[in-house]
A = this chain, B = another copy of it.
Amino acid sequence: MQAFTLTLSNLGFLESVQPAKTWQIRLLGRRETIADQPTPTLHDVAQAAAVSTATVSRCLNFPDKVAPETRQKVQEAIAVLGYSPNFGARVMAARRTNTIGAIIPTMENAIFARGLEALQDELRNHGYTMLVASTAYQPQIEEEQIRSLVARGADALLLIGYHRDPEIYRFLEAQGVPVLLTWAFDPMSAHPAVGFDNQAAMQELAAKVIAMGHRKLALISADTSLNDRAAARRDGILKEMTAAGLDPASLAFEETTYGIEEGAVAFERLMALPDRPTAVFCGNDVLAVGALRSARKLGLSVPQDVSVVGFDDIELAQVAFPALTTVHVPHHQMGRHAGQALVRHLRDGEPMTSTALATKIILRDTLGPA
């Protein structure tokens, strides 16, 4: 496209010509440059290269299927015209998009970032594009995003956790869009998932905490009615408390939204309790870091005065001071596995496989004896 568009787009004066015209172009809906150059199409390329549209298309999609000299000509034409295939048309004709949509609750806090980056990497290597959308933990935004991504022809969707309106699963099935769930793993569910058992992981941590002599426990969690991971983690604690002969009802429970500030506030409330807990579980590291900050402010030392444990093992955890004891989630591995499952399903038609990954407790400096 070099010479050609260079010339054109650098004729600076054109930019001030006929502003009204620019507006009209917009009304026409045709995407054109200010110089009224319509976006080149396959057809234009074909003409420029003196071949048929089919050949150009093949050049783009199956380069081996066309003779080297022809390919050469076509590529030149593409370069000269600055051609870029129209995705919409392409999708419509081919009925596939090589696109996978990932919908996550939030982009803040980097909770999902690492796994997603791994997923994108895996998908890219196989020619798929990943599109991300976030929902701010709001179910109705999630539904909107799901519909949007489906309408955009996503070949498959990656969603976080199990909990959502059954209606949505039905819609997805009606639309024939495969779904892979992640960040959770429920052996009882029929939906394929690549994740880990939130409940078991938290239970294991709870066992460790209780073994340290803690009897007065607390939990700062995200809204468990909307977030199945949070609920499962809570249940893990409750289960272990029961197993250890503790009254599950004695768990001091704070529900809040994710955020450092929120974690800090919840922690303060907990510390103001008459029968102050000696160990505070946090639904994730972000909340835990808030709790840590709050403890510092209250003049409580961790873990001498109170133990704090998190979940996720995001970078924050090792940077926090004191370094946070938490549950390590294999984010990277999870993203990779999910990508592989998706690709195998889409490309090779294999059934989507579920995988449960192991978590690991990382003992750092915030858990001590009661």
Interface residues of A (CB under 8 A from B): 1-2, 5-6, 8-9, 22-23, 26, 29-34, 37, 39, 82, 84-92, 94-97, 106-110, 113-114, 116-117, 120-121, 129-134, 136, 147-148, 150-153, 167, 170-171, 173-177, 260, 289-290, 292-293, 296, 315-316, 318-321, 349
Which residues of chain B have C-beta atoms less than 8 A from A321's C-beta? 296, 320-321
**CB contact under 8 A between A131 and B133, given known A151-B85, A319-B293:** yes
CB of B87 within 8 A of CB of A152, answer yes
CB of B84 within 8 A of CB of A175, answer yes
Which residues of chain B have C-beta atoms less than 8 A from A315's C-beta? 108-109, 260
**The one of B90, B94, B97, B120 that contacts A134, using a Cβ cutoff of 8 Å:** B120
Which residues of chain B have C-beta atoms less than 8 A from A32's C-beta? 176
Least Cβ–Cβ distance between A240 and chain B, in angstroms: 29
Least Cβ–Cβ distance between A135 and chain B, in angstroms: 10
CB of B95 within 8 A of CB of A151, answer no
Which residues of chain B have C-beta atoms less than 8 A from A92's C-beta? 86, 88-89, 92
CB of B316 within 8 A of CB of A174, answer no
CB of B107 within 8 A of CB of A108, answer no
Least Cβ–Cβ distance between A244 and chain B, in angstroms: 32
What would be 13 A-B contacts, judged by CB atoms less than 8 Å apart?
A: A8-B174, A31-B95, A31-B175, A31-B177, A34-B176, A82-B175, A87-B148, A107-B132, A108-B117, A117-B136, A129-B133, A260-B318, A289-B319
Least Cβ–Cβ distance between A320 and chain B, in angstroms: 7
> How far is B153's CA from A85's CA once the two chains are assembled, in angstroms?
10
CB of A84 within 8 A of CB of B5, answer no
**The one of B22, B110, B318 that contacts A349, using a Cβ cutoff of 8 Å:** B22
Chain B CB within 10 Å, residue with most, of A82, A87, A292, A320: A87
Least Cβ–Cβ distance between A143 and chain B, in angstroms: 12
Least Cβ–Cβ distance between A198 and chain B, in angstroms: 22
**The one of B1, B91, B153, B174 that contacts A33, using a Cβ cutoff of 8 Å:** B174
